[in-house]
Structure 1
Amino acid sequence: MEILLEQRHENHVDEKEEVAVTSEMAFVVDHGALMNALTICGKVIPKSSAIPIMQTIKFDLNGDTLFITAVDVSQSVLQMMEVKNTGGVKGSYLFPAKEGIELIKRLPAGSLTLTRKESSVHVQYGKSGKANLSVLDSDEFPALPVLGKTDMIPISLETLRRAAVTSLFTATDEKTPALNGIHIYNHEGKLGFQATDRHRISRFVSDIPIDTPETFLSSIVPAQNFKQIVDSLKDSVAIQLAVTSTYLILRDKNIVYFGRLIDATFPDLSVAFKGIDQGITITLSKEELDKTLYRALSLDAQNNRVTLEVDTTGEFVVHTQSKNSALTEGFPTAILDANASFPVMKFNGKYLREALLLGNRETKNVQIRVSGSKSPGYLTLEGDPSVTAVLLPCL
């Protein structure tokens, strides 16, 4: 990260490479590479702002490296890509985000040439295509957060993606900011992620060790911001994560992301997990349960309610009904604890189906443990102890 940030401020042009010197800031860039970078910027830039500069993206050309920066009050991102500096000079300007991203998205694949001419940038594409966009000077563009000394934790993209799924379990109420985020914390020496909206809880404990627990800071990151940036890191390989007192930091060799933390106290959820080893367990095919819930949710049942029970023939069934319709599906391959009597359980079907997303694609079976119709249900993945979902029943 330090290298990327330092390179941004270097004054360097490779004199060994022959370029057509125009004394204008100009560069050639691959359309796909630029579009990928702009897509990430689009996740950061606010949808609307009374400040025009916040609706722009900073292009900073230094030698054959283009630095692309997008900033919002709650998050910012710096990206680096290789281009061909055809002007032979360095410089910067503010690229219009809304029209600029939309234009680049609609241009044909291939090389693009962007040339700064006073208060506009000329875009050349295809055999003879040309477009002009108004740009701003970059003097007053907000600075990136200052990066102090912090411990970076290596983390895989797959781990980040599984952590981001917990965003489904967060709230969206401004009155409870802590519930709008994902809690990143130390779970018995491992990096953990949890979220709740008071009706359900998700917990994902990764296999990543926290080597310096004495300095590790638990934090709450805005759920939607976190998911959007993780979804954008599709080509990243060597990712690192850090948490400071103010920011979540994600980086790979070409990207640095700063996400401002939610200043709130996350609720203590330990009590909700006390019953995880109690009660009766039923094991179901994850795929079959997902398909059944998908069909059940087509009915307009109150609170998306579905009922899980053992019918009079001894078969485990899931059923639901609306004012005018009903659906029942059996699970002949379900495995119930020996000599156990499964209570009638009513859950929000949407919540139950979203809990299945916490697992990876290789997961074949899920287990639901219950101890009574008025007690929470615990959903876990067979063979994967890293994930637990707690679902309150519909009473």
Structure 2
Amino acid sequence: MQFVINRDRFVHSVQHVSKAVSSRTTIPILTGIKIVATKEGVTLTGSDSDISIESFIPTEENDKVLVEVLEEGSIVLQAKYFAEIVKKLPEGQIELSVQDQFATTIRSGSAVFNLNGLDPEEYPRLPQVEEHHVFRLPQDLLKNIIRQTGFAVSTQETRPVLTGVNLTVENEELICTATDSHRLAMRKAKIETNNTELHFENVVIPGKSLSELSKVLEETDQLIDVVVTESQVLFRLNNLLFFSRLLDGKYPVTKNMIPTHSKTEFKIKTKPFLQTLERALLLSREGKNNVINLKTLEEGEIEITSITPEIGKVTEKIKSSDLSGEDLRISFNGKNVIDALKVVDSEEIHIVFTGAMSPFVVRPTEHDLALHLFSPVRTY
């Protein structure tokens, strides 16, 4: 195998596929990146068997030559060294050639690296995906959905299904839900599909996969295809394929968890409320529970307090609007609420309480596409 390739484009692709390579894999060949050169261009693949990323560099794009393939072939190179080498090579072109026994030479300018390659035949094949369940949405929207739900997945392996984000599609609408059983984040979005009857539920993508996907998504309204099968999901971008396995298990039915009535509610500006909670947590960082107390006062005032007996106490009052219903005192995990407020894309939020011992809901006031649900904390 031998080809000459545009350095910047090669580095870009190598960085993308490296995101799927894990040094902790039990399959030695997966510590490498597979490189395949054909007349059409060069394909790079990285995988840790949970996530697989394939990036394709065509020989030509927009009348610009990116790759010149002198001899077709394939090789697997150790990701750890190969990715670093490519990144540090001088500007311009990189030449890569493979001799007998998988001995590989990488040249750029006057720099020459010789690497021992691995047998590409041992590299696992990527899954073949049947395209029955396909929908599309803009990349920047998907990136936003991951940001607004991914933080709420569970980090505990006791219930593996909760370490993922659940996807449901119905009536050309995507609903993404994440919960760790103490908090829940939900985001809805309109999708495009050729199959108006498209319907599925209990498709749970590992939070880790979505976090890696988010890094390769760009802030553009270009559409990305999402293909869902029994055990895999494929995200297809321009010249990039991102596969992830799905989590087994039944995702809890979260619809019934969201309260439909209200005992106390108010609206409050997102940023000042977030900053108040961050100040309240300054003293309770050491405590594992991050407990913040909220109390409604006269004329729409809200009092926020946090007490850590051995350190001290913080009290702050903040103005709300449209406060209605019963007086309320409630305690909650401040860190969980702060995480949610950081991703709310609305200047004002509407908070609905159903009593001091029941979950409460935070929604943006500017649209009804998102909600966050929190369990209160018992403080006695």
Normalization by structure 2: what TM-score? 0.88
Aligned partner of residue 50 in structure 1, secondary structure: coil
**Distance across 2 between alignment mates of 1:365 and 1:203:** 17
Of residues 303, 320, 332, the one that matches 2:306 is 320
Please tell me whether residue 180 in structure 1 is matched to residue 157 in structure 2. Answer: no
Instruction: Decide which of 19, 38, 42 is 1:66's aligned counterpart.
Output: 42
Change (3 A) 1:270 1:95: same
Decide whether aligned partners of structure 1 residues 136 and 281 sit closer, same or farther in structure 2, where only a CA change above 3 A counts.
same
Q: Does 1:307 align with 2:293?
A: yes
Contact kept? 1:276, 1:378, Cα under 8 Å: no
User: By how many angstroms is 1:312 displaced?
Assistant: 6.6
**1:266 aligned to 251, 260, 264, which one?**
251
Is the contact made by 2:332 and 2:376 (CA closer than 8 Å) also made in structure 1? yes
Distance (whole Å) between structure 1 residues aligned to residue 35 and residue 322 of structure 2? 60
Q: 1:113 to 1:326 in 2, by over 3 A?
A: farther
* In structure 1, distance between residues paired with 2:264 and 2:351: 8
Counterparts of 2:307 and 2:268, CA distance in 1: 22
Aligned residue among 270, 281, 287 for 2:265: 281
Kindly indicate whether the alpha-carbon contact (under 8 Å) linking 2:131 and 2:227 is maintained by their aligned counterparts in 1: no
1:168 to 134, 151, 169: 151
Please report how far the alpha carbon of residue 108 of structure 1 lies from its aligned counterpart in structure 2 after TM superposition.
4.5
Matching residue within 333, 344, 355 for 2:329: 344
Secondary structure of the residue aligned to 1:44 is: coil
Alignment counterpart, residue 190 of structure 1, candidates 151, 169, 173: 173
SS at match of 1:329: strand
In the TM superposition, residue 78 of structure 1 has moved relative to its aligned partner by 1.5
Counterpart of 2:3 in structure 1 is 26
> Following the alignment from structure 1 to structure 2, what is the Cα–Cα distance between the partners of residues 25 and 318?
66
Query: What secondary structure does 2:282 align onto?
Result: coil
Q: What's the counterpart of residue 7 of structure 1?
A: none
Change (3 A) 1:37 1:377: same
Structure 2 CA distance for partners of 1:113 and 1:50, relative to 1, 3 Å: same
Query: Match of 1:160, as an amino acid?
Result: L
Distance 1:269 1:240, change over 3 A: same
The residue that corresponds to 1:159 in the other structure is 141
Report the 3-state secondary structure (helix = DSSP H, G, I; strand = E; otherwise coil) of the residue aligned with 1:38. helix
May I ask how many residue pairs the two structures share in their alignment? 365
Q: Which residue of 1 aligns with 2:63?
A: none
Partner residue of 2:210? Answer: 226
**2:372 maps to amino acid:** A
Q: CA separation in 1, counterparts of 2:329 and 2:195? A: 46
Q: Distance in 2 between matches of 1:235 and 1:296?
A: 34
**Is 2:127 the counterpart of 1:150?**
no
Whether 1:296 aligns to 2:280 is yes
Partner of residue 42, structure 1: 18
Q: Distance in 2 between matches of 1:216 and 1:193?
A: 14
Structure 2: how far apart are the matches of 1:384 and 1:104? 45
Give the root-mean-square deviation of aligned CA atoms.
2.3
Measure the CA separation in 1 of the matches of 2:273 and 2:86.
43
Q: Where do 5+ consecutive residues of structure 1 fail to align?
A: 1-23
The 8 Å contact of residues 2 and 95 in structure 2, kept in 1 or not, is answered as no
Q: Which runs of 5+ in 2 are unaligned?
A: 60-65
Contact 1:155 1:238 in 2 (8 A): yes
User: What letter corresponds to residue 382 of structure 1 in structure 2?
Assistant: T
User: CA shift at 1:206, angstroms?
Assistant: 0.9
- Tell me which of 52, 60, 84 is aligned to 1:76: 52
The CA deviation at 1:252 is 1.4
> Identity of counterpart residues, as a percentage?
22
Q: Deviations over 1:35-83 (max 9, x none)?
A: 3222222221223123321111111111251111122222212211135
Partner of 1:12: none
Structure 2: distance between partners of 1:80 and 1:146 = 17
1:137-177 deviations in whole A, cap 9, x for unaligned? 21121111112232421111222123213121111233312
Q: 2-side partners of 1:379 and 1:206: how far apart?
A: 18
Report how far residue 109 of structure 1 moved. Answer: 4.4
- Preserved CA contact (<8 Å) 2:176 2:188: yes
Supply the distance in 1 between the matched residues of 2:189 and 2:123 (Cα, whole angstroms): 38
CA offsets per residue over residues 2-55 of structure 1, 9 Å max, x none?
xxxxxxxxxxxxxxxxxxxxxx51222223x22322222222122312332111
